[in-house]
Amino acid sequence: MESKIATAVRLKHAPVAVMLADDKPADAVQFTSGKWGCVMFMFANAVKGRTAVFDKETYGCWGGGVGLGFGNAYLEFPGGVDCFAHFLSSGNKQWEKGREVGKAVAGAAGKEFADNFLNGEGYMKGPDLVHQWLGEIPMTENRAPYVVFKPLAGVDTAVELPQTVVFLANADQLSALVILANYGREGMENVIIPWAAGCQTIGILPGREAAAEKPRAVVGLTDISARKYVRKHLGAEYLTFAMPWQLFVEMENNVDGSFLQRHTWQSLLE
């Protein structure tokens, strides 16, 4: 299907549909089982016209497993959740178990991961805050075996409905999308920017919103690790804007007659 919103805001990159599926799409790209990969690499493939698929064996990394709804994959992190909490914050070299696991990691993982494991990524001040954050993440077990990223243009809504539609937006486009998400609604918080991995802000977080009475859009790709991985493929100026299907349809229906057809927005396009 084509998107009126994408045309009105002049997206450079194609919108992507996130869907659950019982069968693996033919010719879809997929990570090798057991091999590390960033889910946002696959998102970049979908932006460029490919269909990507994931299952419980091919979600790429622990955060990706969580982000795509394959349960609490952090349990599989080297040393378990406690080591992950130190990894994301202040590092594992400060405690005995962490140091022991770090020795094994150093011999089996890449240099960057081994360094982050011992010294921490510094994304949270301490492991206690990571544990608190993990309590807020909506750990999900998908009702279907596959998660699919597919260009929206290739979706036939008579046959399949996306769970989420994701746009890549620059600052002006993001501003327009935030306005449009609030355009037909009461309240001023119909868009959220949660702190989470890039894949989680296009996966389980808009998935959680989809179950709400008034689902909100989720701004993402504020994960600087993911930004580092995809910037040469997508550009440095973009954030993701993920709309649960119900909200996407609502926003599509609100394009006509809105500010998108008025002179202020048109002047920004010029």
Q: Give the per-residue pLDDT at 253.
A: 98
What's the total number of domains in the chain? 2
Q: Which residue range forms the structural domain that includes residue 83?
A: 73-136
* Stretch 65-87: mean pLDDT: 98
As a whole number of angstroms, the distance between CA 9 and CA 221 comes to 19
**Bridge partner list, 16:** 151, 166
Whether residues 121 and 88 share a domain: the answer is yes
DSSP structure string for 147-186: EEEEEGGG--TTT---SEEEEEE-HHHHHHHHHHHHHTSS
* Residue at 6 is within a domain: no
Whether residues 98 and 150 share a domain: the answer is no
* Residue at 3 is within a domain: no
* Residue at 218 is within a domain: yes
Whether residues 219 and 164 share a domain: the answer is yes
* pTM reported for the whole predicted model: 0.96
Whether residues 98 and 126 share a domain: the answer is yes
pLDDT band at 164 (very low <50, low <70, confident <90, very high): very high
Q: What is the three-class DSSP state of 261?
A: helix
Whether residues 82 and 209 share a domain: the answer is no
Whether residues 102 and 65 share a domain: the answer is no
pLDDT band at 107 (very low <50, low <70, confident <90, very high): confident
* Residue at 7 is within a domain: no
* Residue at 5 is within a domain: no
Whether residues 83 and 65 share a domain: the answer is no
* Residue at 258 is within a domain: yes
- Pick the last residue of a domain from 103, 136, 169: 136
* Stretch 163-177: mean pLDDT: 98
* Residue at 82 is within a domain: yes
Whether residues 42 and 110 share a domain: the answer is no
Statement: residue 49 has pLDDT above 90? yes
Q: Give the per-residue pLDDT at 64.
A: 97
* Stretch 81-103: mean pLDDT: 97
Helical ranges in 57-203 per DSSP H: 62-67, 80-88, 96-108, 111-119, 127-136, 171-183
Q: Report percent pLDDT > 90 for the chain.
A: 96
For residue 215 the two structure tokens come to: 């689902």
As a whole number of angstroms, the distance between CA 41 and CA 52 comes to 10
Whether residues 127 and 171 share a domain: the answer is no
Render pLDDT for 176-232 as a digit per residue (tens, 0 to 9): 999 999 999 999 999 999 999 999 999 999 999 999 999 999 999 999 999 999 999
Whether residues 173 and 112 share a domain: the answer is no
